[in-house]
Amino acid sequence: MDWVEKDLKYIWHPCSQMKDYQELPPIIIDHGKGVYLYDKNGKGYIDVVSSWWCNLLGHCNPKINEAIKAQLDKLEHVIFANFSHEPAIKLCEELSKLVPKGLTKFNFSDNGSASVECALKMSFQYQYQTGNARKTRFMCLTEGYHGETIGALSLGSIDLYAKIYKPMLMDAIHIEAPGCYRCSYRKSRDYCNTECFEHAEKVFEQYADQTCAIIVEPLLQGSAGMRIYPALYLKKLRELCDKHNVLLIADEIATGFGRTGKMFAFDYAGVSPDIMCISKGLTGGYMPMAITITTDEIYGAFYADYNEGKAFMHSHTYSGNPLGCSAALAVLNILREDAILENAAKLAQHLSRKLNEALLDHKNIGEIRHIGLINAMELVKDKKDKIDFEPKLRIGYQIYKKALEKGLILRPLGNVLYFNPPLIINEAEIDKAVGICEEAICSVIGG
Ligand SMILES: *Cc1c(COP(=O)(O)O)cnc(C)c1O
């Protein structure tokens, strides 16, 4: 049996209709280098989706490899209750200089969804222990995505992932999210006064007294199709949360570590959340690790004599894994020493210019939106009236398959194609990727 047959015999791949694999079998990746992944036949693929948005500094980055190897011969893992280790301590010290002001306490877990669950339980218990036991519910934005576990899924509003499970989910309060491409106030994203924030105000009036926290993906609703909204929205949300004693949770799992051009998306708003979740870029895409970061004030509400029963009794076996911490420390070193964000800003301009030149005038590209190196192209049947292609046609998926043939990984979000490449991609690689993307689009829908 060859590798593909064996794969399909045993493996149930994530987020896939396995029947699709009959026509498009899994590509068996043998090794990676920089922005390239190579299959068993030596064919290269440019990974502009950063292997689900987590690869920050290229595959097989020599410095991260070194850091993990060095740690591996010292200590692979240790129970993190009552025990600690240098890599975790150093990592939190370094991160504390980079995260939004006021975030000081670090609680480790091992994936993004788990860090969201941690944030939810923390908020709930904080409100309970500060005399607000009535505040038991959560708010979120429509079109949001916060992970796949039951709590996180309850605060996501994308039917594709959540609909079937509705009877299992918490009854969250959904606020209509900014929808800038089809703004119902006829404003443009860059010159609006976030008129749509009135939806949040109305919902807070009605429900804030039952609500312990709201969770948002700051500036970029990733899974919904890289929907970008203005920083002013976050600033207003901060004020509204303060007014109503609702905690503000920033899900920076996708946006953290320079993806939006700044270290964290919240940096654009000039305000801080009460709790922040980070994961994807944290270890450069090497090790499963996440952190829920919060303030002295929230931490303080759990700090008491043991018998008061106020401790946060939440744990994950792999909390604070030393290999993950070493990888993350190497990532922070590289970001600083190689001025990655400064370079990425220049590359971001280059990428946007190239995509605009190649595709902005295409009859089926409704919008090309960008923030940092993230660029998303909204495919529409009718550009003038912004009418979607029928989902059944799976236009995005057809283009994805075409691009794969030509050596580009462009796994779409419905009918949104996007680039979210490792921050170390270079101009030649960008030019090549944009070229393949254009060819793939034109060969499927013409133009
Ligand atoms: C990926 C993602 C998550 C979930 O992280 P997992 O590690 O896949 O559980 C949560 N929120 C956002 C914004 C994400 O992009």
- The residue nearest atom 10 of ligand 1, judged by CA position, is 146
**Is residue 245 located within the same domain as residue 387?**
no
CB 420 within 8 A of CB 373: yes
The ligand 1 atom nearest the CA atom of 116: 10
222 Cα to the center of ligand 1, angstroms? 9
Using CA atoms, how far apart are residues 340 and 57, in angstroms rounded to an integer? Answer: 9
pLDDT digits (tens, 9 = 90+) for 49-97: 999 999 999 999 999 999 999 999 999 999 999 999 999 999 999 999 9
Among candidate residues 337, 352, 379, the one where a domain is terminated: 337
Mean pLDDT of all residues in 10-30: 96
**Is residue 52 located within the same domain as residue 109?**
no
**Is residue 93 located within the same domain as residue 156?**
yes
**Residue entry with tokens 């002295």:** 296
Could you tell me the two tokens for 368? Answer: 């090309």
Q: What is the pLDDT of residue 157?
A: 80
Among candidate residues 283, 314, 337, the one where a domain is terminated: 337
**Is residue 70 located within the same domain as residue 80?**
yes
**Is residue 425 located within the same domain as residue 407?**
yes
**Is residue 174 located within the same domain as residue 316?**
yes
Question: Which residues form the domain of 196?
Answer: 66-337
pLDDT digits (tens, 9 = 90+) for 380-393: 999 999 999 999 99
pLDDT digits (tens, 9 = 90+) for 112-124: 999 999 999 999 9
Q: If DSSP codes are grouped into helix, strand and coil, which group holds residue 379?
A: strand
- The residue nearest atom 8 of ligand 1, judged by CA position, is 112
**Bridge partners for 379 per DSSP:** 365
pLDDT digits (tens, 9 = 90+) for 364-383: 999 999 999 999 999 999 99
Residue 192 pLDDT > 90, yes or no?
yes
Among candidate residues 280, 311, 337, the one where a domain is terminated: 337
Q: What's the CATH number where 51 sits?
A: 3.90.1150.10
302 Cα to the center of ligand 1, angstroms? 26
**Is residue 104 located within the same domain as residue 196?**
yes
429 Cα to the center of ligand 1, angstroms? 27
pLDDT digits (tens, 9 = 90+) for 271-322: 999 999 999 999 999 999 999 999 999 999 999 999 999 999 999 999 999 9
281 Cα to the center of ligand 1, angstroms? 11
**Is residue 275 located within the same domain as residue 290?**
yes
- Mutation test residue for ligand 1: of 116, 146, 253, the one with most atoms within 8 Å of CB: 253
Q: What's the CATH number where 169 sits?
A: 3.40.640.10
List, in sequence order, the alpha helices (H) in 47-185. 50-53, 62-72, 86-96, 112-129, 150-154, 159-162
State percent of the chain over pLDDT 90.
Answer: 98
**Is residue 81 located within the same domain as residue 141?**
yes
73 contacts: CB under 8 Å, gap ≥ 6: none
Residue 1 pLDDT > 80, yes or no?
no
CB 319 within 8 A of CB 287: no
275 Cα to the center of ligand 1, angstroms? 16
pLDDT digits (tens, 9 = 90+) for 107-151: 999 999 999 999 999 999 999 999 999 999 999 999 999 999 999
**Is residue 322 located within the same domain as residue 395?**
no
Residue 160 pLDDT > 90, yes or no?
no
- The residue nearest atom 7 of ligand 1, judged by CA position, is 112
Show the ligand 1 pocket: residues with CB < 6 angstroms. Answer: 111-113, 116, 145-147, 217, 222, 251, 253-254, 279-280
Domains identified in the chain, total number: 2
Using CA atoms, how far apart are residues 300 and 404, in angstroms rounded to an integer? Answer: 51
Confidence class for position 161, pLDDT limits 50, 70, 90: confident
**Is residue 53 located within the same domain as residue 120?**
no
307 Cα to the center of ligand 1, angstroms? 35
237 Cα to the center of ligand 1, angstroms? 22
**Is residue 78 located within the same domain as residue 128?**
yes
